[in-house]
Amino acid sequence: MIDATQASETRLRQFVADAAHELRTPLTTLQGYSALHARDAHLAGTPLGDSLRRIHSEAERMTRIVDDLQLLANLDEQRNWYGPRLTWARSFGTRRPISRSSCQTDR
């Protein structure tokens, strides 16, 4: 059960990482072109210039959302690390690693 859950979480993190990567390129392009054209002097104060500034602003907002999504995925990956853990061995008063299999119960 743990292996299936871990595999599912790994696939989800990989999907988020792939989606973030794929979204960054078009967002960067939108930001670049919209910023370039919005600064054009003859478009200042025109509806087209206003639209380009809005597109640029929204592309920046989307980039922040993608960055936040990637950050959450990275933090989740660190939080859900399923490596060996240390526990107290009461009989010896020492700490020793335990494996995932020793934590599982038979049902």
d(CA 54, CA 49): 9
Q: Residue 98: phi, psi to the nearest 5?
A: -120, 155
Q: Which CATH class is domain 2-103?
A: mainly alpha
Q: How far is CA 41 from CA 29, 32, 37, 38, in A?
A: 21, 17, 9, 8
Q: How do residues 32-51 score in pLDDT, each as one tens digit?
A: 999 888 888 788 889 998 99
Q: How do residues 69-106 score in pLDDT, each as one tens digit?
A: 888 878 877 765 555 444 445 545 555 555 555 454 44
- Ordered by start, the domain boundaries in the chain are 2-103
